[in-house]
């Protein structure tokens, strides 16, 4: 798989009912999405890092991503995030897609590197791998999914996808692939009870404190 093009796509938006414009919120003086971009760019073997944002968002978010030096900012549907991902992957000629969300400022490049390695070296050629934080031992907020452009396109073109599938991007492919998905588990220290994603202003206060106190393990490569 050495010649396959890997594109990391970061999804973000400004319209959040629980925390409006959270993508622009600062943690240690740095906007949340800039934290995410910086960490994604530490992952080896990624050919491009792009932002996928809604058509409806103003220029502030796009400018922020450009200042963070993503390779490209791509606009797509606000509600149909599946289409937004497919469109971004298609435009950037991705063979392999890494899905990242913009509300995870403590995204782990270590976890992402491991998931990508597992995908590439999988003897069963499974088209979807993740560190599903509901069952892998990794904390919420270090989530990463890696999947083929082929299965993404099948999801996008499917006639039986639901509104929820369009919103959550990977539910259709995980449902169709069923047991044929790869899970990258932590080998030690179950940290699944930690919540490090940002959904509300209170989450930001808690994660900021966690960050300031340096409570994350060194192997996360988050310094």
Q: What's the fold here for domain 6-213? A: Spore Coat Polysaccharide Biosynthesis Protein SpsA; Chain A (3.90.550)
Residues 110-158 have pLDDT tens digits of 999 999 999 999 999 999 999 999 999 999 999 999 999 999 999 999 9
Task: State pTM to two decimals.
Answer: 0.94
Rounded to whole angstroms, how far apart are CA atoms 88 and 70?
Answer: 13
Average pLDDT across each block of 10 residues of the chain; the chain has 223 residues. List them in order.
Answer: 89 88 92 95 97 88 95 95 98 98 93 96 96 94 97 97 97 93 90 91 92 67 41
Find tokens 């796509």 and name the residue: 9
| Percentage of the residues of the chain whose pLDDT score is greater than 70 | 95
pLDDT of 222 reads: 40
pLDDT of 219 reads: 52
pLDDT of 138 reads: 93
Rounded to whole angstroms, how far apart are CA atoms 212 and 216?
Answer: 10
Comparing CA positions, the residue from 207, 6, 214 lying closest to residue 112 is 6
For 38-69, give one letter per residue: b (16+ CB within 10 A) or e: bbbeebeebeebbbbbbeebeeebbebbeebe
Q: Name the residue ranges covered by the structural domains of the chain.
A: 6-213
What's the CA dihedral at 213, 104, 113, 111 to 10 degrees? Answer: 60
């Amino acid at each position: 798989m050495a010649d396959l093009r890997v594109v990391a796509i970061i999804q973000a938006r400004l319209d959040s009912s629980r925390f409006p414009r959270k993508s622009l919120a600062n943690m240690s003086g740095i906007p949340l999405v800039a934290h995410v971009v910086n960490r994604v760019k530490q992952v080896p073997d990624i050919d491009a890092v792009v932002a996928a944002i809604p058509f409806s968002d103003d220029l502030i978010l796009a400018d922020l991503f450009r200042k963070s030096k993503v390779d490209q900012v791509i606009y797509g549907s606000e509600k149909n995030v599946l289409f937004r991902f497919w469109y971004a992957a298609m435009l950037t000629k991705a063979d392999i897609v890494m899905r990242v969300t913009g509300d995870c400022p403590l995204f782990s490049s270590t976890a992402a590197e491991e998931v990508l390695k597992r995908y590439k070296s999988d003897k069963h050629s499974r088209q979807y791998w993740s560190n599903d934080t509901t069952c892998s031992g990794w904390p919420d907020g270090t989530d990463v999914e890696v999947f083929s452009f082929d299965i993404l396109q099948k999801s996008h073109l499917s006639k039986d996808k639901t509104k929820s599938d369009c919103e959550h991007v990977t539910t259709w492919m995980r449902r169709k692939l069923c047991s044929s998905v790869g899970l990258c588990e932590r080998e030690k220290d179950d940290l699944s009870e930690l919540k490090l994603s940002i959904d509300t202003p209170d989450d930001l206060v808690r994660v900021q404190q966690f960050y300031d106190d340096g409570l994350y393990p060194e192997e996360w490569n988050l310094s």
